[in-house]
């Protein structure tokens, strides 16, 4: 894809967004080019600040380094306390899409507007304990909702089945006010859980462990999760 715009992908299409958190960081360029060959459209980049979540991952230099090597749509998941303060820097580094947390300290409406004005698509996400109703008023204004299906902060956790209700509620709301809305799920997505999230109405599947560490390789992972 040359224009790298999430809006050009249909929300009726199943999209895999591999999370580099599970990749081998000593071989990151190779890992991402192998993921690209497996036929994916998005690359999920988890940014953690050690404050909003109890872990620290990667930041701007990794995004800008990968940008030089990849034409994938960069799906940047900001698990940071002040996303509004960093949106422009991530755009400059090469982010195409930013998802931020409704629980962050940044004002939600203003942050949505700023991300759009910077020329990116915007997603809003919520932690497992946050009620789905908190998102409702923003659905019309955004390109994606990300439903966290684990507590944010770490890869390799167990999928929380209770989050499926959130996915179907959001799909119902979206059908009424924003049918183009992408619904992404993140955490514990694998060969057993992918069907459940699709049935509930999700179309963008983040997969870290089940993609980069698939025993038969990334092509097999893409096939398994995309089917």
The neighbour count for residue 215, using CB atoms within 10 Å, is 6
Residues that bind ligand DX5 (CB under 6 A): 19, 21-22, 44, 46, 77, 150, 152-157, 186-189, 206-210
Say whether 25 sits in a helix, a strand or coil: helix
Give CA–CA dist 66/107, Å, rounded. 29
CB of 135 to Zn ion, least distance (A): 17
Give CA–CA dist 201/210, Å, rounded. 20
The phi and psi torsions of 153 (rounded to 5 degrees) equal 140, -30
Using the rule CB under 5 A, is 4 a contact of Zn ion?
no
Using the rule CB under 5 A, is 75 a contact of Zn ion?
no
Q: Known catalytic residue: 75?
A: no
Sheet arrangement for strand 144-148: 15-18, 204-207, 182-186, 144-148, 121-126, 97-101, 73-79, 42-48
CB of 68 to Zn ion, least distance (A): 22
Residues in Cβ contact with 168 at an 8 Å cutoff, skipping those fewer than 6 apart = 200, 201
CB of 204 to Zn ion, least distance (A): 11
CB of 132 to Zn ion, least distance (A): 18
The phi and psi torsions of 132 (rounded to 5 degrees) equal -65, -30
Shorter beta-carbon distance to Zn ion: residue 24 or 137: 24
Using the rule CB under 5 A, is 186 a contact of Zn ion?
yes
Q: Contact region for Zn ion (CB under 5 A) — 43-51, 62-70, 108-116, 161-169?
A: 43-51
Using the rule CB under 5 A, is 46 a contact of Zn ion?
yes
- Shortest Cβ contact with ligand DX5: which residue? 208
Catalytic residue among 41, 75, 96, 186: 186
Catalytic residue among 46, 75, 96, 143: 46
Q: List residues with catalytic annotation.
A: 46, 186
């Amino acid at each position: 894809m040359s224009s790298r715009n999430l809006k050009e992908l249909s929300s009726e299409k199943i999209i895999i967004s591999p999370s580099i958190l599970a990749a081998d960081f000593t071989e990151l360029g190779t890992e991402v080019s192998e993921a690209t060959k497996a036929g994916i459209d998005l690359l999920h980049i988890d940014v953690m600040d050690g404050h909003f979540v109890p872990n620290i991952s990667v930041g701007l230099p990794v995004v800008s380094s990968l940008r030089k090597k990849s034409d994938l749509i960069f799906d940047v998941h900001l698990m940071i306390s002040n996303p509004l303060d960093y949106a422009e820097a991530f755009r400059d580094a090469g982010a195409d899409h930013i998802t931020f947390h409704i629980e962050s300290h940044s004002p939600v409406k203003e942050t949505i507007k700023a991300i759009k004005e910077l020329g990116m698509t915007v997603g809003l996400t919520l932690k497992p304990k946050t009620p789905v109703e908190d998102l409702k008023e923003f659905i019309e204004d955004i390109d994606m909702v990300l439903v966290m299906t684990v507590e944010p902060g770490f890869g390799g956790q167990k999928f929380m089945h209770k989050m499926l209700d959130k996915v179907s509620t959001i799909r119902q709301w979206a059908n009424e006010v924003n049918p183009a809305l992408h619904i992404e799920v993140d955490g514990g997505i694998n060969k057993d859980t992918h069907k459940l999230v699709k049935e509930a109405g999700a179309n963008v599947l983040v997969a870290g462990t089940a993609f980069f560490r698939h025993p038969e390789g990334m092509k097999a992972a893409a096939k398994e999760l995309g089917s």
